[in-house]
Structure 1
Amino acid sequence: MQTNRKQLKNARMWKYFMEAAVETIEESGIEKVTIRKIADRAGFTSSTAYNYFKDLSHLKFFAAMRFTKSYTEELPYYLDKGENTIEKWLCAWACFCKHSFEQPKIYEVLFMDNVGGSAQDLLDHYYSMFEEDLIGLPEDVRSIVMEHSFLKRSVLFIQQAVEEGLLKEEKIEVVSDMTLMIWKGIMSTFINERRSLTKEEAVSLTLSYVKQTLSHAVPEEEKKRINWDIEL
């Protein structure tokens, strides 16, 4: 009984700090978040916050996850546009690009920053605390959002394309890795303003390169089975 009370208290405190972190991000941006700002807003000391979060990178990761709900909710509608695995994967990329370039700093924290440990462990812990975020998600979408590694996500997702005859087994990991690096490169360029790109241009450029990468991987005789102009 005492253990249960302690667990409930820890969960309650964890969520207090999470709510404070989300409010701080909405007010100042995730790049200006500090443990002190979050603790002050939550009504506790910084030392208390460190009892529940290893460091600021962990708290930022958890808080950033609260801003991805619109992506996970919209993803099933994008997937429904595709008739085969390649088309569905292109649509999934379109959804991810739309949301990630709308909130670049959030997605940078989730997929590019050093979080001081296992990002998968952090993701698992987040969904153990916010299980309601998974309610109503189709099983294929749930398996995507609960896998942090974007490379593994892609490999798992497009494996079906091999059975459909649209990709060779040996192409899966290469295509998955190349498309991830394309997104990371363009996202870094966009965030650091190394090129003059609007959000829409960044999305369009990423999807164009993803399509080209896929096109080179699909056997020539199978390309006609894919609607490359599918509405993304």
Structure 2
Amino acid sequence: MNNKELKKRRMWTYFIDATEELIHTEGFKQVTIRKVADKAGYNSATIYNYFGELSHLLFFASLKFLKPYFKVVTEEIKKTSDPIEKYLVAWEVFSEHSFKNPDVFHSAYLMDLGEHPESLLAHYYELYPADLLDVSDELKPALMKRNIDDRGRFAISYMIKAGVVDEDEAEELNELTNLIWQGMFTNVLNNRNRYTAEEAHVQSMKYIREIILAKTNKV
């Protein structure tokens, strides 16, 4: 790696780390390009040499906040070999963490990042490869998927391989479960829901579990 590339990587981490610190101290909604620049010790114009827009900075910073989620889902999925239970566990952990940290999960998985969000995700792990050290090889492919539908397809692949559902049934189940979560999550994120974060998680998992068990003939 030449000096120019090293400098570029260093500048990226300066701004991402500054964004992370601002989120910690002020919250997602208070982060601005100017504040990030001031925190990192540069002017705002410099940031645009490395990031196209604020959403990209928030996306990269949000991934740093996902490490506890990655750790828990890795540990929990290892505890069962049953393909249906693996899918349920994947949803349980994702749902619980997403409702506890809606701004983080919105930025990481739903916020409009423009073109080629997958390349941004890959670039993050180039900058922070240590974030993958505690993630099992089984789950690493899923972490390289930013699209919720694609991540769901990976999670449900265990059931396809085991013959529990065929590909068409899996696609339908994936769409239904994603719609349940996204509907509840969007309402919570926009303060349009009567549920607390914990209640939203419990209610979402009630519906998701019912659909999964119905579609796999377990009820």
TM-score normalised by L of structure 1: 0.90
Question: Percent identity of the aligned residues?
Answer: 35
Q: Which residue of 1 aligns with 2:92?
A: 94
Q: Which residue of 2 aligns with 1:50?
A: 48
Is 1:175 the counterpart of 2:173 in the alignment? Answer: yes
For residue 80 of structure 2, give the secondary structure of its aligned residue in structure 1.
coil
Paired letter, 2:95: C
CA contact (8 A) 1:93 1:207 kept: yes
Structure 2 unaligned runs (5+)?
none
Paired letter, 1:201: E
Q: Which residue of 1 aligns with 2:148?
A: 150
In the TM superposition, 1:189-200 aligns within 5 A as: 189-200=187-198
Residues in 1 aligned to 2:67 and 2:90: alpha-carbon distance in whole angstroms: 15
For residue 140 of structure 1, give the secondary structure of its aligned residue in structure 2.
coil
CA contact (8 A) 1:58 1:116 kept: no
Aligned counterpart for 2:80 among listed residues 79, 82, 87: 82
- CA displacement, residues 182-224 of structure 1 (integer Å, 9 cap, x when unaligned): 1111011112221221111111111111112212311x3xx27
Paired letter, 1:66: K
CA contact (8 A) 1:39 1:45 kept: yes
In the TM superposition, 1:1-232 aligns within 5 A as: 4-218=2-216, 220=217, 223=218
Residues in 1 aligned to 2:134 and 2:110: alpha-carbon distance in whole angstroms: 28
Structure 1 unaligned runs (5+)?
225-232
Residues in 1 aligned to 2:188 and 2:25: alpha-carbon distance in whole angstroms: 22
My pick for the range that moved more, 144-153 or 54-63, is: 144-153
Q: Which residue of 2 aligns with 1:227?
A: none
The number of aligned residues is: 219
CA contact (8 A) 1:81 1:91 kept: no
Cα deviation for residue 146 of structure 1 reads 1.6
Paired letter, 2:77: L
